[in-house]
Structure 1
Amino acid sequence: MKSISDIIVVKSERHDVAYVLRICAVAALGGILFGYDTSVISGAIGPLRDYFHLSAAETGWAVSNVVVGCIFGALASGWLAHHFGRRLTLFFCALLFSAQSVGAALAPTFFWFVIFRLIGGVAVGVASAVSPMYMSEVSPKDMRGRALSMEQFAIVFGQLVVFIVNYLIARSATETWLQTLGWRWMVGSEIVPCILFCATIFLIPESPRWHMTIGREEDAKKTLTRISNEQHALTLMSEIRESLSAEGTQTNFSLRRLFADRNARWIVFIGAMIAALQQVTGINVMMYYAPMVLKNAGSDMRGALFQTIWIGLALLIGSVLGAWIVDRKGRRFLMQFGSIGMILSLLVVSWALYMQTTGPLALSGMLFFMLMFGLSWGPVAWILISEIFPNRFRAIGMSIAVASNWVANFLVAQGFPMISENEWLKSHFHGAFSMWLFAAFGVFAMWFVLRFVPETKGISLEKIETTMMGAPLRQQAQPVITPQTAAKPR
């Protein structure tokens, strides 16, 4: 027979799942714009390159310049999210997305195209940190994985939609029209989800954890009670209050304090590595340059654009599967399983390119890669960097991790066309070299997770630091935080 305390605990853990998913779905519109903005270039890059007469390096810059904006946006996201709140910061992102979609579509020169894409990059960088940050802070611990998977689902959905839009624009168009106007329609079509995001962002509450950091406890209690019930809200507020008082609130947590804190340095390093490794596995070659890869495998331009729809669909299916099992199987299992599948897929694509086969082998390898990435590194990397940082430095920690993600993204986006079009590598390996390189990074990524990343499934955000510092392979190098050690002066 259950005791009264057991009944209270059970009651306090009941949540309004539908409400949590609704507010996370609105926040995830930032992910849709993230996916749409970063992938629209895949269909536009060919006509854009011909219209502005770009070299290989300039072609890479046309794709990767947005990532430079993402880096600065990610670094600024922590400051913006702390000083203005998560919700207002996301609205600011929506305005920047709108400005760049119109400006880049009307750009008279390559210079102005780059300027407006940089503005969009800032929006992507901020949204890529703040949107999952918000979701992690409003989601109960036992459904945090599912809620945060909505961010990856939204990113992939945005990518799939833009692949379809790009194909529909190019399907009946002439090459001349695509070079002069088609790519402008592709870039400008982003204004539609921008308007939707602007119209809905103020329908969701502000993050209760942000309210706690600025002393608005009644507002935090109201939101947490709506998410679950008053008993659970009071219990969680007590944990948040204790977490914030242990080392000072985020208001006082500067970069100087971050690098002076051994625990914080280690956790930020883990987060930055997870974020960067997600990019160097080859995902954005598939997202940015899929038509170029498929053309190397024998497809024409329209056929390549049509095939990118299937690539986006495979990623979407993988994301749905990942969201379904991430809170059942855990983060580490999915990362390991997905890494093996991604490595094998890249080897299949590299074989097709190296042997210069014109059949479906390259496309099959790319589809399986997207499926494996979608159920593993795609959602789980964002889940991990959203939940491994303690309250006291979550905003600044996430901004550094997401900036690392975009730095790695830039290196891949800028470097791939230069590697792909290198005459010596092309003549000897026929485009396979880059796939071998990404497969090698996949092996390293799997090793890193096995060695340094603990399981975080079901761990409260207020207890995450103990879990991170108590990882078995880290115990000898760094003690676990306890009340006694936390009380000692640093």
Structure 2
Amino acid sequence: MQIIAKKQTTYKFNNRYILGISFISALGGYLFGFDFAVISGALPFLRTAFHLSSWWEGFLTGSLALGCIAGCLLAGKLADRYGRRPGLMIAAAIFAFSSIGMAFAPGLAFFVIMRFCAGVGVGMASMLSPLYIAEISPAHMRGRNVAINQLTIVTGILITNLVNYLLSDMHEAWRWMFGLGVVPSLLFLLGVFFLPESPRWLISMGKQAKAISILTKIGSAEFAQTSVTAIGQSHQKTGQSSFSAVFSKSVRPAVIVGVTLAVFQQLCGINVVFNYTSTIFKSVGANLDHQLLETVAIGVVNLLFTLIAMWQVDKLGRRPLMLAGSIGLALSYIVLAALLKYQAPAIWISAFVLLPIALYATSLAPVTWVLISEIFPNNVRSAASSVAIVSLWIAYFILVFTFPILVEHLGTYGPFFLYAGICFMGYLFVKSRVKETKGQTLEQLEHNFTGH
């Protein structure tokens, strides 16, 4: 139990309970990390099994994003009508089904359909997990708690890369790689049964008694009553939720920030490093064993620097981390592109692959999810989050679909000059449009971003 003093008022918080339900919800991020990483280890085998052209390689990789778009749109409607918890359950069930489907895929078309279905589950979880965590977390620990979702993503990436490496000598190794996704999805489904519903959603449905019961488990009775009053006033001022309300004049500034950051998080280019590690290292002569080992190194660095981000996001704040990450990525990409162009030794390529991974893990990766989960008004949060995260997955599809085609025409190094330019533009946007959000309640942020 921790005591926090704010504006002459002292609240007690049950940190163990808050962290427990945050970690359970964040298991949705593990599914994201699994399907995100499994393609990197499986691609060398899929190229042979399905005789992939550069076009099909990009489309197969990006088909996950197309499913994610559908999943985000579905999750927004489900979350508003039935609550956050049922949506998380459905996401886990879809992911379990699609993992088995990909493992037993008889051909390319069936595999792509199953990967699309996996994307539906990932898209739902990618929207609902950080949204849920933001809604149940007190202001002073919201940034760290939402970043737990990013921690489970990178944990999923690391464990999946390790498993891919260990399975690489097996017959039809790619089937095992995808099939093992059923394990975390079933664990996630089991965990969601122990989650309470979001108190903010319950208040929007007029279920104040249930909301107060949950809030008193999170903090003191005084905290619960103050929160209920503030949330209720927020809903009265902003009215009922709808997708049309997302684009209203008052909400538009927050939507512009959320969508732009979501698109920037993907078009900054880091995910081609995650998804196409084998392509990058093959271009400088590394063998398959080296390629898969590099994915493990990427996973380790990603995890370590995500932990640093969790430690700092509520101390340094969101804005300084985003600024440092975006300009750092721009500079490191320029060096990486030059090294690839002049066929530098693999050890130098590895260093300047891991550096942008570290920068991304401490900035754009966790902080974007934190900001998307907290800058929208209560009554449109799920709908507005859907819009932002759909934009994120569209950008992801564009990125991973175009990379093999760009490599074919520009060489492996060429796209990184483009990504460096995008990162510099992202730096300018954050500097001019993104406000600091640390330490403020969701209702206070609603006033700051919309004027309500």
Q: Distance in 2 between matches of 1:8 and 1:316?
A: 36
Q: For 1:283 and 1:217, how far apart are their aligned partners in 2?
A: 43
Q: Say if 1:348 and 1:362, in contact at 8 Å, map to a contact too.
A: no
Task: Measure, in 2, the Cα distance between the counterparts of 1:415 and 1:359.
Answer: 24
Out of 403, 409, 412, the position equivalent to 1:416 is 403
What are the within-5 Å matches in structure 2 for residues 63-462 of structure 1?
63-170=61-168, 172-173=169-170, 177=171, 181-249=172-240, 253-259=241-247, 261-422=248-409, 425-426=410-411, 431-462=412-443
Distance 1:56 1:132 in 2: 34
The answer on whether the counterparts of 1:456 and 1:467 sit within 8 Å (CA) in structure 2 is no
Amino acid at match of 1:11: T
* Alpha carbons 1:243, 1:391 under 8 Å: kept: yes
The C-alpha deviation readout for 1:248-306, integer Å capped at 9, x for no partner, is 13xxx2223333x2121221121111101000111210111111111112211111101
Question: Do the aligned residues in 2 keep the contact of 1:156 with 1:316 (CA within 8 Å)?
Answer: yes
Q: Which residue of the partner structure matches residue 10 of structure 2? A: 11
The amino acid that maps onto 2:398 is L
Secondary structure of the 1:357 match is: coil
SS at match of 1:328: coil
CA drift at 1:8 = 9.5
| Counterparts in 2 of 1:15 and 1:50: CA distance versus 1, 3 Å | same
Q: How far apart, in 2, do the equivalents of 1:309 and 1:8 lie? A: 47
**Aligned twin of 1:473:** none
Tell me, in whole angstroms, the C-alpha distance in 2 between the residues paired with 1:191 and 1:169: 16
Encode CA deviations 1:62-85: one digit per residue, 9 max, x unaligned.
100111011111122211111121
Confirm or deny: 8 A CA contact 2:30 2:155 kept in the other structure.
yes
Residue 21 of structure 1 corresponds to 19
CA distance in 2, matches of 1:239, 1:257: 20
Gaps of 5+ in 2: none
Counterpart of 1:477 in structure 2 is none
Q: Aligned AA for 2:426?
A: A
Q: Is the 8 A contact 2:328 2:356 kept in 1?
A: yes
Indicate if the aligned counterparts of 2:319 and 2:435 stay in contact, CA closer than 8 A: yes
| Partner SS for 2:437 | coil
Cα distance in 2 for partners of 1:206, 1:89 equals 11
Answer with 1 or 2: which has the greater Rg: 1
SS in 1 for 2:13: coil
Offset at residue 345 of structure 1 (A):
2.0
The corresponding residue for 1:37 is: 35
Structure 1 residues 130-139 or 181-190, which shifts more? 181-190
The separation in 2 between residues aligned to 1:43 and 1:382, in whole angstroms, is 26
Q: Provide TM-score, normalisation by structure 2.
A: 0.97
Question: Identity of counterpart residues, as a percentage?
Answer: 38
Distance (whole Å) between structure 1 residues aligned to residue 429 and residue 7 of structure 2 = 41
Q: 3-state DSSP class of the match of 1:459?
A: coil
Moved more, 355-364 or 141-150: 355-364
Q: Cα 1:343–1:8, aligned 2, differ >3 Å: closer, same or farther? A: closer
> Residues 232 and 163 of structure 1: is their aligned pair in 2 closer, same or farther, counting only changes over 3 Å?
same
Does structure 2 retain, via aligned residues, the 8 Å contact 1:64–1:413? Answer: yes
**Contact 2:281–2:346 at 8 Å: present in 1 too?**
no
- Tell me, which stretches of 5 or more residues in structure 1 are unaligned? 1-5, 470-479, 482-490
- State the shift of 1:33 in Å: 0.5
The one-letter code sitting in structure 2 at the alignment partner of 1:314 is V
TM-score, normalised with respect to structure 1: 0.89
The one-character-per-residue Cα deviations of 1:1-22 (angstroms, maximum 9, x if unpaired) are: xxxxx8995432x211111111
1:475 alignment partner in structure 2:
none
Deviation at 1:417, TM superposition (A): 0.6
Aligned-residue Cα RMSD (Å) equals: 1.3
Write the distance in 2 (CA, Å) between the matches of 1:8 and 1:467: 18
Instruction: Decide whether aligned partners of structure 1 residues 97 and 377 sit closer, same or farther in structure 2, where only a CA change above 3 A counts.
Output: same
SS in 2 for 1:163: helix
Do 1:348 and 1:361's aligned partners in 2 also have CA atoms closer than 8 Å? no
Q: State the AA in 2 paired with 1:433.
A: G
Distance across 2 between alignment mates of 1:315 and 1:298: 24
Counterpart amino acid of residue 63 in structure 2: N
136-145 or 283-292: bigger deviation: 283-292
